[in-house]
Amino acid sequence: MARQDLLTPLRAETPLVQCITNYVAMNVAANVVLASGASPAMLHAAEETAEFTPICGALTINIGTLSPPWAKSMLLAAETAKAHNIPWVLDPVAHFVSGYRREVAQNLLALRPTILRGNASEILALGGEAGSGKGADSGDPVEAAEGAAQSLAQNYGSVVVVTGPVDFVTDGAQSLRLSGGSEIMPMVTALGCSLTALMGAYAAVGPAFDAAWSAAAHFKVAGSAAAEKAQGPGSFQTHFLDALAMTKPGDLGAVVRA
Ligand SMILES: Nc1ncnc2c1ncn2[C@@H]1O[C@H](COP(=O)(O)OP(=O)(O)OP(=O)(O)O)[C@@H](O)[C@H]1O
Ligand SMILES: Cc1ncsc1CCO
Ligand SMILES: [Mg+2]
């Protein structure tokens, strides 16, 4: 029997999601969350966290264009979300490229994110294994990071998602894979960051494991549909937003594999 996705509650509840993300992804991610059926707010000032984070359905944190004031906001927002039982998602972009970034990523991970999403190189390195990441881009196959994903899930109580040609989702006990999408997707910047934001939206309306695979499946379904119409990375972006909006509840289970 097909798994029940969370697209119906997402569109019914249109949750407010605080997305602390990088300068590259801000606009892309806000459009992705809106097109999919939720309400993004790209607020990151530490001074606003105490009032704003508690009224959100979820929080997402992406360290893509990290600097000290942002790191302070991220840690404060994650602590606030935890204190209010609000689900939060961590995207440790390129955390292995510097000691500073590694340290901030570890401090955030220690706050036990509800969902951790990264590409294979990011998840391998978080698990303490050597990878071949090139900045924000992955240089490793998803399968190579499955063991690290399972260990991280068990150690931090998080659902861990590794994205790539086939996505891997695990909570340390149960795992599944998602096929589909398009080879054009890694040629468009910030789609992974946008998926992280969408995972927050889904986490606001259902359990973490279902939220993680529903969001990842929404991207796979819309990515396949957009690729049929796109002529390249430029037109793909437009078709992808349209396809996210046109995806229907019940469409998502089709890309799930054991
Ligand atoms: N070769 C591929 N074929 C199909 N889908 C892909 C492929 N590569 C990535 N994707 C999809 O693209 C989306 C983004 O995943 P990706 O692993 O590229 O994130 P990322 O490296 O963190 O991206 P970024 O840092 O640019 O935001 C996911 O939905 C993933 O399933
Ligand atoms: C290209 C890039 N550089 C820092 S963050 C980002 C967006 C994709 O992760
Ligand atoms: Mg990324």
In this predicted structure, what is the pLDDT of residue 3? 81
Specify the ligand 2 atom closest to the Cα of 189. 8
In this predicted structure, what is the pLDDT of residue 1? 52
Domain count, the chain: 1
In this predicted structure, what is the pLDDT of residue 240? 98
Residue 112 token pair: 């036990």
pLDDT band with cut points at 50, 70 and 90 for residue 85 = very high
Is 257 annotated for ligand binding?
no
C-alpha 50 to ligand 1 mean position (Å): 33
Residue 2 lies in a domain: no
DSSP strand pairing (16-20 vs 88-91): unpaired
Pick the closest to residue 78 from 38, 114, 103 (CA basis): 114
The per-residue pLDDT for range 146-169, each reduced to its tens digit, is 999 999 999 999 999 999 999 999
Nearest ligand, CA 199: 1
CATH number of the domain enclosing 84 = 3.40.1190.20
Residue 201 token pair: 């939206």
Residue 134 token pair: 């090139």
% of the chain with per-residue pLDDT over 90: 94
- Length of the chain equals 258
Give residue 20's Cα distance to chain centre. 12
The range of the structural domain enclosing residue 49 comes to 7-257
Nearest ligand, CA 92: 3
Q: How far apart are CA 17 and CA 251, in angstroms?
A: 23
In this predicted structure, what is the pLDDT of residue 131? 87
pLDDT band with cut points at 50, 70 and 90 for residue 93 = very high
Residue 109 lies in a domain: yes
ipTM of the complex: 0.98
Number of neighbouring beta carbons within 10 Å of residue 203: 31
DSSP annotation of 113 reads -
Question: Does the pTM exceed 0.95?
Answer: yes
In this predicted structure, what is the pLDDT of residue 92? 98
Residue 54 token pair: 């508690």
Residue 90 lies in a domain: yes
In this predicted structure, what is the pLDDT of residue 109? 98
pLDDT band with cut points at 50, 70 and 90 for residue 205 = very high
Specify the ligand 2 atom closest to the Cα of 136. 9
pLDDT surpasses 80 at 115: yes
Residue 66 lies in a domain: yes
